[in-house]
Structure 1
Amino acid sequence: MPPSRTAPETRPGDDRTGDLIRWAAFTCFLVPVVLLWYGTSLAGTAGTALGLAAVTAVCRVLLRRSEQCAVRLLDEGPGPQAHHRGRHQRTGSGSHRGGRHTGGNSPAG
């Protein structure tokens, strides 16, 4: 039986996604200020600010959706476990099994 997954313990004020979004918002403010300081045009700075804000908004949506899916998966519990070996974990013998091959047509052996 596989071990049950438990949700990570969260402490009050321990919102990593919120911290990340706050830093991104701060960057959305700071980058245009620095660009203006170094003489970039107002239109270029505004375009950069809008682009950063759009990327930050999309990342926020994706992070929140990812958190919701993780919580949903933890609430559902473990599902049926299908046994899957994958492409490189085949059983049986063959010449593609790796290791040393003695004899054959190699120049050294």
Structure 2
Amino acid sequence: MTIFNHLFLRSFALFAFVIAFALPAQDAAAQTTAFRQAVAEGASQDEVLAEFYRGREFEGIWTGATGRDRSRRNALLAAFANAGDHGLPAAQYDPNALMARLQ
């Protein structure tokens, strides 16, 4: 995987995570449909990513309420917290800023 693809996947992950929590309150079915549409559109630029989400029926991987979903969210936030350790611009992966936007 190239650096570009890696950065794209991380950026897309952030986008999907933020979209899942930032959508205004609305009918649950409409919100789910909007989220899945956003995921499908974002994933359409990368065949591997699109295939992954098609296999999940475009359901998010960090947005659910199960223990597994919470573990994934925690892992994502931990990865953001350590972005600078991987040579990524830490300001673009600030877990505190993300959590503040979600509340």
TM tier, smaller: 0.3 to 0.5
Larger RCO: Structure 1 or Structure 2 (Cα < 8 Å, ≥ 6 residues apart)?
1
Of Structure 1 and Structure 2, the greater helix share is in 2
Structure 1 length normalisation: TM-score? 0.36
| TM-score under structure 2 length normalisation | 0.38
Decide which structure has the larger Cα Rg and report it. Answer: 1
